[in-house]
């Protein structure tokens, strides 16, 4: 695929993506706003429902209070049950209530009548009476099942002068209450009877949607409580009403999301039409624009491949006054910088350890240091002066380089850094510039590796007819100051401190025959070891330049 085609596809893709994102954002914003608005209505639905029921109950309580105070009603109560029931039926027809009942103090129904002629079970009102007795209330409000109808009922006491009965009026939880709740909340409402078989008590929705609500009883989601009912998307939430739940019923409030988003859908359709026209125009412009970019971009790509291959000497000849020309000049400057960086890094890698080189390139070369725990290793060839007398200078340097190469490899293999070569002596650091909590173990393992490498090197020298070499290693662990030391014109990364001097003084002790070892460590290194090694205590010794004796140990080998 050519660059020109890719530019066309890129611009077309960007425009399509912008259009898609715009449509998506418009849709999500409209949906989020619709959900937020409906949620506010959801939150108020329980309060509105309680207010509607409370207002109706207050009206029923006022009427019931008038009844219990009426002399004729008291006379009917004192008569037989048929007379009382006849009186209740007459009162029900003259009120707007759906049910009326007289309940004895123990909770049994004495007489009751409903507009629909439903049969009231004797203990229907017992929970309300018990709740009123427990709370010492002057009236009892709640929900009561009368047949398959749910009534919101209020009971007031009939006193003569003590409590002789409760008189209650109730209104059916039906379409009228659902319509009132929907009118005040701006939502659709469905009342359901819970149980093994869920039934719809009342609804403001079409029968098909109501049946779907009764079938699936959608649970609310934390972000978008959306349910598809009869092919239409609705925002659905149950209205929390403990009294209604205790009666075995529930109420759902709903709002059609599709209906609320219909204006947004029309706006999206217009945006899509305009976007397609814009895309067609942009493709024509992009075609000519891409053609003007093909050649210089091709030259830039070719030059990039040269740089990737390491050819920093090549230069890009692109004489343009625009951004592409500026980019070409930047490429040439980058090639020069990369070449200079490689020269500097190559020189650093040859003159200092890779760790120190990385530290200098990363942190700069400012004078100063930091205090840290470091294990210092000094290794010195024995009898080097005598060896130097019997070899030509060129051969001596070659031999020394072979020896130093093998020793340095063992040090670096254990994470150590060669600080400096002092003639035939090696100074190595473990724990600087890169911190290492096991610096003591690394140093001891490096010394053991150097011992094995020296033995292998001596076998090579024997094959060449040369005498064997021997060395001595001194190791100490201490708090030292590590950093760039020197003048502003010449720096050396190293460590200074009393612990460095002790390590340097331990190395010559390996020449003493009574110690019979070529590796000596201080008591401080022994205390810092985490691994297990074959150590041999050599006693306390006072080294040159120190007044206090220090315990030293020989390292005979790994455990």
Residue 38 lies in a domain: no
Q: What is the mean pLDDT of residues 100-128?
A: 88
Residue 65 lies in a domain: no
pLDDT at residue 262 is higher than 50: yes
Checking phi first, is residue 435 left (phi over 0); if not, alpha (psi -120 to 50) or beta?
beta
User: Residues 396, 519: one domain?
Assistant: yes
Residue 221 lies in a domain: no
User: Residues 416, 380: one domain?
Assistant: yes
303-307 long-range Cβ contacts below 8 angstroms, 24+ apart: 303/328, 303/331, 304/331, 307/331, 307/334, 307/335, 307/338
User: Residues 525, 484: one domain?
Assistant: yes
Model confidence pLDDT, tens digit, residues 404-459:
999 999 999 999 999 899 888 999 999 988 888 999 999 999 999 999 999 999 99
pLDDT at residue 547 is higher than 80: no
Residue 24 lies in a domain: no
Lowest mean pLDDT among 246-255, 361-370, 425-434, 550-559: 361-370
Strand partners, 163: 159
Number of domain units in the chain: 3
pLDDT at residue 184 is higher than 80: yes
DSSP 33-101: HHHHHHHHHHHHHHHHHHHHHHHHHHHHHHHHHHHHH-HHHHHHHHS-HHHHHHHHHHHHHHSS-SEEE
pLDDT at residue 22 is higher than 60: yes
User: Residues 377, 463: one domain?
Assistant: yes
Residue 450: what pLDDT? Answer: 96
Q: Enter the tokens of residue 335.
A: 């090639």
**Domain end: 140, 172, 204, which one?**
172
Residue 418 belongs to what H/E stretch?
strand 417-422
Edge-to-edge strands, sheet with 140-146:
109-114, 99-103, 163-172, 149-159, 140-146
Lowest mean pLDDT among 73-87, 287-301, 431-445: 287-301
User: Residues 337, 403: one domain?
Assistant: no
Residue 367: what pLDDT? Answer: 42
**355 preceded by a cis bond (ω within 30 of 0):** no
Residue 88: what pLDDT? Answer: 86
Measured distance CA(229)–CA(257) in Å, rounded:
11
pLDDT confidence band for 486 (50 / 70 / 90):
low
Model confidence pLDDT, tens digit, residues 341-382:
666 555 445 444 555 555 555 554 444 568 889 999 999 998
Residue 549 lies in a domain: yes
The proportion of the chain whose per-residue pLDDT surpasses 90, expressed as a percent, equals 26
pLDDT at residue 223 is higher than 60: no
Specify which of 47-56, 252-261, 385-394 reaches the highest per-range mean pLDDT: 47-56
pLDDT at residue 39 is higher than 90: no
Residue 219 lies in a domain: no
Task: Please report, for residues 87, 118, 154, the alpha-carbon distance to residue 113 in angstroms, rounded to integers and kept in the order given.
Answer: 10, 8, 15
Residue 539 belongs to what H/E stretch?
strand 533-541
Lowest mean pLDDT among 203-217, 284-298, 457-471: 284-298
User: Residues 91, 127: one domain?
Assistant: yes
Lowest mean pLDDT among 83-97, 191-205, 278-292: 278-292
**Domain end: 350, 381, 412, which one?**
350
User: Residues 523, 435: one domain?
Assistant: yes
More confident: 427 or 268: 427
DSSP 375-406: EEEEEEETTHHHHHHTS-HHHHHHHHHHHHHH
User: Residues 529, 474: one domain?
Assistant: yes
Model confidence pLDDT, tens digit, residues 157-173:
988 888 888 998 999 98
User: Residues 327, 449: one domain?
Assistant: no
Total length of the chain: 559
Residue 293: what pLDDT? Answer: 67
Lowest mean pLDDT among 36-45, 245-254, 260-269, 313-322: 313-322
**Domain end: 121, 137, 172, which one?**
172
User: Residues 322, 387: one domain?
Assistant: no
**CA atoms in the 13 A half-sphere facing the CB of 149:** 20
Residue 225: what pLDDT? Answer: 65
Lowest mean pLDDT among 45-59, 307-321, 413-427: 307-321
Domain housing 325: 310-350
Measured distance CA(41)–CA(188) in Å, rounded:
11
Residue 440: what pLDDT? Answer: 95
Residue 52 lies in a domain: no
Per-residue b/e over 226-257, b at no fewer than 16 CB within 10 Å? ebebeebbbbbbbbebeebeebebbbbbbbbb
> What is the pLDDT of the chain when averaged over all its residues?
83
User: Residues 376, 520: one domain?
Assistant: yes
Specify which of 228-237, 306-315, 333-342, 498-507 reaches the highest per-range mean pLDDT: 498-507
Burial class (CB in 10 A: 0-12, 13-18, 19+), 72: exposed
**151 preceded by a cis bond (ω within 30 of 0):** no
**CATH number, domain containing residue 484:** 3.30.70.1230
User: Residues 440, 392: one domain?
Assistant: yes
Residue 244: what pLDDT? Answer: 82
Nearest to 430 by CA among 445, 452, 415, 419: 415
**Distance from chain centroid for Cα 446:** 43
Residue 335 lies in a domain: yes
């Amino acid at each position: 695929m050519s660059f020109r085609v890719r530019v066309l596809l890129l611009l077309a893709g960007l425009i399509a993506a912008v259009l898609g994102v715009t449509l998506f954002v418009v849709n999500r914003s409209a949906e989020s706003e619709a959900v937020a608005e409906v949620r506010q209505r959801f939150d108020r639905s329980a309060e509105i429902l309680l207010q509607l029921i409370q207002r109706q109950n207050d009206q029923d309580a006022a009427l019931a209070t008038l009844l219990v105070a009426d002399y004729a009603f008291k006379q009917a109560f004192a008569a037989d049950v048929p007379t009382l029931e006849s009186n209740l039926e007459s009162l029900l027809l003259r009120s707007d209530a759906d049910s009326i009942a007289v309940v004895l103090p123990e909770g049994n129904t004495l007489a009751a009548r409903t507009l629909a002629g439903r049969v009231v079970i004797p203990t229907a009102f017992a929970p309300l009476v018990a709740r009123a007795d427990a709370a010492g209330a002057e009236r009892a409000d709640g929900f009561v099942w009368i047949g398959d109808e749910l009534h919101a009922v209020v009971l007031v006491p009939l006193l003569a002068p003590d409590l002789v009965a409760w008189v209650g009026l109730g209104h059916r939880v039906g379409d009228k209450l659902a319509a009132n709740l929907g009118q005040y909340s701006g939502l659709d409402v469905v009342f359901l009877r819970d149980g093994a078989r869920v039934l719809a008590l009342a609804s403001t929705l079409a029968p098909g949607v109501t049946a779907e609500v009764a079938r699936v009883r959608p649970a609310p989601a934390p972000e978008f409580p959306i349910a598809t009912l009869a092919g239409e998307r609705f925002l659905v939430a149950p209205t929390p009403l403990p009294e209604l739940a205790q009666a075995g019923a529930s109420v759902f409030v709903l709002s059609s999301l599709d209906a609320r988003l219909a204006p947004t859908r029309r706006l999206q359709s217009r945006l899509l039409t305009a976007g397609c026209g814009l895309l067609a125009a942009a493709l024509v412009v992009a075609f000519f624009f891409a053609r003007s970019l093909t050649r210089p971009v091709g030259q830039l790509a070719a030059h990039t491949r040269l740089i990737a291959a390491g050819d920093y000497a090549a230069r890009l000849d692109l004489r343009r006054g625009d951004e592409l020309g500026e980019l070409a000049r930047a490429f040439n400057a980058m090639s020069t910088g990369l070449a200079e960086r490689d020269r500097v890094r190559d020189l650093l890698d040859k003159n200092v350890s890779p760790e120190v080189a990385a530290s200098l390139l990363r942190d700069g070369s400012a004078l100063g240091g930091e205090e840290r725990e470091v294990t210092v290793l000094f290794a010195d060839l024995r009898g080097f002066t005598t060896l130097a007398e019997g070899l030509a200078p060129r051969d001596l340097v070659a031999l020394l380089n072979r020896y130093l190469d093998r020793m340095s490899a063992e040090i670096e293999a254990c994470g150590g850094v060669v600080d400096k070569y002092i003639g035939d002596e090696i100074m190595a650091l473990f724990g600087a510039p890169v911190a290492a909590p096991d610096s003591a173990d690394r140093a001891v393992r490096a010394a053991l590796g150097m011992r094995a490498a020296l033995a292998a090197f001596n076998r090579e020298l024997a094959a060449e007819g040369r005498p064997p070499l021997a060395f001595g290693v001194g190791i100490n662990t201490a708090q030292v100051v590590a950093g760039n030391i020197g003048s502003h014109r010449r720096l050396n990364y190293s460590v200074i401190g009393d612990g460095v001097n002790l390590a340097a003084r331990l190395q010559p002790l390996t020449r003493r025959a009574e110690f019979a070892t070529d590796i000596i460590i201080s008591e401080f290194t022994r205390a810092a070891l985490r691994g297990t090694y074959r150590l041999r205590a050599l006693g306390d010794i006072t080294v040159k330049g120190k007044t206090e004796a220090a315990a030293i140990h020989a390292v005979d080998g790994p455990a």
